[in-house]
């Protein structure tokens, strides 16, 4: 049901845009108003979430580590897996953000004959996630040729690198193939893994279908249903220069693609996809593991009125004596 619900939502989006553009002629709504609203929601939502995270108190160092902590000189410590310095934290964060280091250590647990609980390596998830995130990033950078004039110098270089194999005309970009394959793998993994399927919700399937629909519509525009690139760039430049125009003859497939992108932007700040800025504010990742070399004092600590055992016995000595409890100091006779 979660899969069908998510897929049905994508179909409704596509049908709504098709009817709105082809029948109701709402080109300005889908080409200008909705993209502006989506960008505003995206920026405002991320800013509010980041501010909320930044205001969360973290009185103690609570890094999650996977290596030997720095202690005695003759014990070799792990400078990246258990960093004790700011430089080590930066190195660890770079590995986490750029190469998904913690996901690389992902293992699978299975109950085999015996019964025996077995642990094994599971690098497929790491490879699929790495392929998806990097190709998505490359595709976003390639789209800068539509938003900026003159086109940044890195964009042609990235296009040449992405189309290195030069398969067909127009040139087939490797990132287009990889992102579809990666998203398909991530979806099939949730479908065929019974444990993962049991805990998967519609909020897990919907982003996969949404991003896959964006990729597919982009591929359709490039290789099958050609659109007027000059008009597309005119619309994109108009949006980013705050002088929006709606050129004629762009085609409904572009508006479907644009609306799907707008949906992703508006959905992003309120979904699980927001782990991207969250990694920078995670105290389990961005703190040094130096509790053996530096004392961390809770800034909220305040003087507490304690009640010592001597004071307790002085207060209740008569009652303790009456009930037969042992006393450190005998009851004085009156």
How many independent structural domains does the chain possess? Answer: 2
Q: What is the mean pLDDT of residues 17-24?
A: 90
- DSSP secondary structure letters along 159-184: HHHHTTT--TTTTPPHHHHHHHHHHH
> Does 198 share its domain with 328?
no
Higher pLDDT, 265 or 168: 265
H-helix or E-strand spanning residue 113: none
Is 0.95 topped by the overall pTM? Answer: no
Same-domain check for residues 282 and 331: no
Q: Which uninterrupted H or E stretch holds 111?
A: strand 107-112
**What pLDDT is stored for residue 332 in this prediction?**
65
**Same domain, residue pair 328 and 273:** no
Same domain, 239 and 332: no
How high is the pLDDT of residue 130?
93
Same domain, yes or no: 120 and 265: yes
Quick one: average pLDDT of 37-47?
95
Q: Is residue 172 within 8 Å of residue 165, measured between CB atoms? A: yes
Confidence of residue 93 (pLDDT cuts 50, 70, 90): very high
pLDDT given for residue 47 in this prediction: 93
317 in the same domain as 258 = no
* Listed range (76-90, 189-203, 316-330) with the worst mean pLDDT: 316-330
3-state secondary structure of 30: helix
Query: How far apart are the C-alpha atoms of 5 and 132, rounded to whole Å?
Result: 23
CATH number at residue 53: 1.20.950.20
* Secondary structure letter of residue 329 according to DSSP: S
- Which residues are within 8 A (CB) of 253 and not within 5 positions of it... i.e. 6 or more apart? 217, 220, 221, 225, 227
Residues 322 and 275 in one domain: no
The whole-number average pLDDT for the span 141-160 is 89
Residues 198 and 236 in one domain: yes
pLDDT at 168: 64
Length of the chain: 334
Same domain, yes or no, for 195 and 320? Answer: no
Quote the pLDDT of residue 331.
Answer: 64
String of DSSP letters for 56-99: S---S------SPPP-STTSPP-TTTS--SHHHHHHHHHHHHHH
Same domain assignment for residues 232 and 265: yes
Helical H segments across 163-293, by residue range: 174-192, 194-199, 202-219, 229-240, 252-267, 275-278, 283-286
Q: Quick check: 334 pLDDT over 60?
A: no
Same-domain status, 333 and 275: no
Compute the mean pLDDT over every residue in the chain, rounded to the nearest whole number: 88
Let me know whether 330 and 286 are in one domain. no
Containing domain of residue 153, as a range?
2-302
> Residue 72: is its pLDDT beyond 90?
no
């Amino acid at each position: 049901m979660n899969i069908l619900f998510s897929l049905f939502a994508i179909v409704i989006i596509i049908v709504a845009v098709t009817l709105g553009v082809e029948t109701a002629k709402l080109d300005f709504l889908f080409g200008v108003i909705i993209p502006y609203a989506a960008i505003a929601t995206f920026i405002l939502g991320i800013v509010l979430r980041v501010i909320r995270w930044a205001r969360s108190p973290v009185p103690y160092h609570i890094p999650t580590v996977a290596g030997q902590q720095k202690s005695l000189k003759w014990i070799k410590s792990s400078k990246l897996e258990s960093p004790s310095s700011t430089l080590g934290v930066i190195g660890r964060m770079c590995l986490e953000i750029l190469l998904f280091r913690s996901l690389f250590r992902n293992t699978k647990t299975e109950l085999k004959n015996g019964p025996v609980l077995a642990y094994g390596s599971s690098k497929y998830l790491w490879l699929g996630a790495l392929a998806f995130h990097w190709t998505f990033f490359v595709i976003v950078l390639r789209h800068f040729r539509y938003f900026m004039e003159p086109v940044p110098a890195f964009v042609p270089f990235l296009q040449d690198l992405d189309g290195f194999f030069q398969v067909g005309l127009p040139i087939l970009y490797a990132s287009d193939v990889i992102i579809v394959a990666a998203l398909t793998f991530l979806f099939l993994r949730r479908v065929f893994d019974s444990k993962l399927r049991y805990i998967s919700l519609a909020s897990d399937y919907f982003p996969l279908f949404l991003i896959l629909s964006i990729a597919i519509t982009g591929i359709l525009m490039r290789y099958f249903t050609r659109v007027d690139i000059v008009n597309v760039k005119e619309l994109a430049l108009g949006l980013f220069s705050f002088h929006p125009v709606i050129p004629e003859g762009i085609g409904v497939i572009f508006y479907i693609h644009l609306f799907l992108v707008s949906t992703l932007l508006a959905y992003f700040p309120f979904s699980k996809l927001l782990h991207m800025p969250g990694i920078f504010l995670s105290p389990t990742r961005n703190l040094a593991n130096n509790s053996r070399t530096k004392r961390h004092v809770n800034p909220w600590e305040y003087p507490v009125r304690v009640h010592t055992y001597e004071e307790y016995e002085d207060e209740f000595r008569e009652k303790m004596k009456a009930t037969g409890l042992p006393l450190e100091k005998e009851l004085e006779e009156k």
